[in-house]
C-alpha cells in the first residue's frame, strides 16, 4: 500500500506520525469489538495520518454503529462495496492489520500515541498559519494574538470547533444528560445563585449562556453580582472570576465581607466597629478565604485581554462562572464606526466566550434614562444602553428595580424586584428580593420562621 503524506505535502519535513501505532490501533479494533468503543472515545477519523487508515477507521465505525459484526470478512465486504478496497491495498492489507497485534489489550495505548501525533500536527498547522499572518501584517496585532491564543487553547482542550454534527452523533450524550438530570435531588442543573426563586426559574446559571444584569446607576448591580459570586463559590463550590473595570479588588472584597458578615459597610469605612462585628467579619473572612473567587481589577481592559485572562483561569482553575462589571466600561479592539458598533462587537465576543469556556458569563450593563421618563419606571429590554445587540446576544436578561430609588418618601422600603425580561430557554417573570443597603446585600424574601424579613 502506498502511503500518502496529506499533512506534510509540499513541506521538507515529514509531520509527526506513527504509522505502526495507527496499524496497531486498527488491528486491535478488528480483534475485539469492545476495543472499538474504547478507541472511539479517544480518536476521530481525522487523527490518522494515513488516508487509507482514515477510511478503514470510518468503515469499522460504520459496521459498529449498525451493530453488525466487525471482522476481516465484513470489513472487506464493506470496503469493496464502497469501492475503496483495492485503493487501500486490498484484502491482504487488512490481514496485515490483524497480524500486527497479538491482542487488543493495548488498544487505548496505541490510540493515545496516534492522538498525540495528531495534536502535534495541528499545532504545526496553527503555528504555520500564525507565522504566515504575522508576515503579511494586514491585521491588528492584538486581534492576531487573541486568535492565536484561542487556537492554541482549543488544541489544549482537544476540541474540534465548527464541526457539523448529525443528531445521531450527539443523541447518546443528550439522553445521558437527561437521565442524569432526572436523578438530581434538586432541579438546579447550572451554577446555583443562592436565591431559591431565581434558581427555580433558571435552574441555575447555565453553561455557555450570556447573562445580562442591567439597572440604572446605584440600583445595586455590583452588590447583586457579588452576592451571586459568593453564593456560587460558597454554596455551589464553583470557581468564579470577577473582572471589575470600575472598582478596585480591595473595595469588592470589603463589600463581600460586609455582605457575608451582615456588618454595616459604613461602620467598616469609618472604623466604628464593635467586638461583635469584628468577630462576624473574621468568620466571614475565613469562609471567603477558602473560596475560589478570583478578581481582576485591571483598568481600561479591552475585550481581547479579558478573553485571554478568562481562558487562562479556565485552564488553570476550571472557572465555572465569569462576571464582568460592566460592559460600558469595556474597550473594543481596532477602529469602530461608532460606540454602538463597538458595544455590539463586545457583546458578541462575550457570547462566544461563554460557549468557548462552557460556563455562564454574566455581564453588567447600564440602562438608558428612558425608564425615568415613563409612568412605570420598571426597565424594558429597549432600555439597554448603547446597543440592541446586547438584548439579541443575551440568553438571559435581568433587571433590578427598586421603587425607593425613585420615591424618596419610600427610602425605608427595602423591597427590590429582579425582573427576568428574557430567558431563551425558560420562563420570564419577577422575583421579589430584600435589599439591605447597609450590608450591600440582596436577600430572598423570608420564610415565616426567619426573623428580620430575610432569608439567609
Catalytic residue set: 246
The answer to whether the Cα torsion of 246, 345, 355, 368 is positive or negative is positive
User: Of 157, 49, 162, 69, nearest to 113 (Cα)?
Assistant: 49
Provide the β-strand partners of residue 243: 296, 324
Provide the β-strand partners of residue 400: 418
Rg (CA), the chain: 28
User: Of 329, 344, 369, nearest to 217 (Cα)?
Assistant: 369
How many Cβ atoms from other residues are within 10 Å of residue 427's Cβ?
9
- 415-423 and 396-401: which strand pairing? antiparallel
Q: Under DSSP, is residue 67 helix (H, G, I), strand (E, B) or coil?
A: coil
Provide the CA 404 distance to its chain's centre, in angstroms. Answer: 36
Q: Under DSSP, is residue 155 helix (H, G, I), strand (E, B) or coil?
A: helix
How many Cβ atoms from other residues are within 10 Å of residue 365's Cβ?
26
Which residue has 475560589 as its cell numbers? 292
The answer to whether the Cα torsion of 420, 439, 323, 198 is positive or negative is negative
Given strand 240-244, what is the order of strands in its sheet? 293-296, 240-244, 321-325, 361-366, 210-215, 396-401, 415-423, 429-436, 441-445, 454-455
Provide the CA 360 distance to its chain's centre, in angstroms. Answer: 6
* Residue-by-residue DSSP string for 251-277: HHHHHHHHHHHT--HHHHHHT---HHH
d(CA 423, CA 202): 8
Q: Under DSSP, is residue 378 helix (H, G, I), strand (E, B) or coil?
A: coil
Q: Which helix (H) or strand (E) covers residue 192, if one does?
A: none
User: Of 43, 39, 3, nearest to 19 (Cα)?
Assistant: 3
d(CA 324, CA 245): 8
Cell numbers at 446, concatenated: 423570608
What lies within 8 Å, CB to CB, of 391 at 6+ separation is 212, 381, 382, 384, 397, 422
User: Would you report the helix, strand and coil content of the chain in percent, each value rounded to 5?
Assistant: 50, 15, 35
d(CA 172, CA 179): 11
Amino acid at each position: 500500500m502506498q502511503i500518502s503524506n496529506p499533512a506534510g505535502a509540499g513541506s521538507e519535513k515529514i509531520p509527526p506520525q506513527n504509522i505502526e501505532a495507527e496499524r496497531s490501533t486498527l488491528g486491535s479494533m478488528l480483534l475485539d469489538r469492545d476495543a472499538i468503543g474504547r478507541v472511539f472515545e479517544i480518536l476521530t477519523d481525522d487523527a490518522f495520518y494515513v488516508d487509507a487508515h482514515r477510511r478503514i477507521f470510518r468503515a469499522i465505525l460504520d459496521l459498529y454503529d449498525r451493530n453488525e459484526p466487525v471482522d476481516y470478512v465484513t470489513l472487506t465486504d464493506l470496503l469493496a462495496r464502497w469501492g475503496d478496497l483495492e485503493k487501500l491495498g486490498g484484502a491482504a492489507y487488512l490481514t496485515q492489520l490483524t497480524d500486527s497485534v497479538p491482542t487488543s489489550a493495548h488498544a487505548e495505548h496505541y490510540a493515545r500515541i496516534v492522538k498525540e501525533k495528531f495534536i502535534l500536527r495541528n499545532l504545526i498547522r496553527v503555528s504555520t498559519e500564525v507565522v504566515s499572518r504575522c508576515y503579511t501584517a494586514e491585521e491588528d496585532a492584538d486581534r492576531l494574538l487573541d486568535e492565536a491564543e484561542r487556537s492554541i487553547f482549543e488544541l489544549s482542550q482537544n476540541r474540534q470547533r465548527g464541526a457539523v454534527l448529525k443528531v445521531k452523533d450527539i443523541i447518546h450524550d443528550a439522553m445521558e444528560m437527561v437521565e442524569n438530570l432526572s436523578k438530581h435531588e434538586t432541579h438546579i442543573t447550572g451554577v446555583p445563585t443562592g436565591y431559591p426563586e431565581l434558581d427555580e426559574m433558571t435552574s441555575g446559571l447555565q453553561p455557555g449562556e450570556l447573562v445580562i444584569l442591567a439597572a440604572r446607576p446605584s440600583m445595586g448591580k455590583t452588590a447583586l453580582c457579588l452576592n451571586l459570586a459568593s453564593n456560587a463559590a460558597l454554596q455551589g463550590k464553583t470557581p468564579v472570576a470577577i473582572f471589575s473595570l470600575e472598582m478596585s479588588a480591595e473595595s469588592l472584597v470589603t463589600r463581600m465581607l460586609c455582605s457575608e458578615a451582615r456588618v454595616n459597610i459604613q461602620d467598616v469605612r469609618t472604623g466604628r466597629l464593635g467586638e461583635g462585628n469584628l468577630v462576624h467579619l473574621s468568620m466571614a473572612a475565613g469562609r471567603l478565604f477558602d473560596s475560589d473567587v478570583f478578581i481582576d481589577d485591571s483598568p481600561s481592559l479591552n475585550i481581547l485581554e479579558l478573553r485571554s485572562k478568562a481562558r487562562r483561569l479556565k485552564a488553570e482553575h476550571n472557572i465555572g462562572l465569569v462576571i464582568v462589571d460592566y460592559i460600558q466600561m469595556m474597550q473594543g479592539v481596532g477602529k469602530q464606526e461608532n460606540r454602538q458598533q463597538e458595544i455590539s462587537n463586545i457583546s458578541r465576543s462575550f457570547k462566544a466566550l461563554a460557549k468557548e469556556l462552557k460556563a455562564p458569563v454574566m455581564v453588567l450593563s447600564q440602562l438608558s434614562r428612558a425608564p425615568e421618563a415613563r409612568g412605570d419606571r420598571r426597565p424594558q429590554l429597549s432600555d439597554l444602553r448603547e446597543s440592541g445587540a446586547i438584548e439579541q446576544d443575551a440568553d438571559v436578561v435581568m433587571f433590578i428595580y427598586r421603587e425607593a430609588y425613585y420615591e424618596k418618601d419610600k427610602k425605608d422600603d427595602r423591597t427590590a424586584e429582579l425582573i427576568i425580561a428574557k430567558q431563551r430557554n425558560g420562563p420570564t417573570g419577577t422575583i421579589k428580593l430584600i435589599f439591605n443597603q447597609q450590608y450591600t446585600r440582596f436577600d430572598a424574601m423570608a420564610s415565616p420562621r426567619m426573623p428580620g424579613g430575610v432569608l439567609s
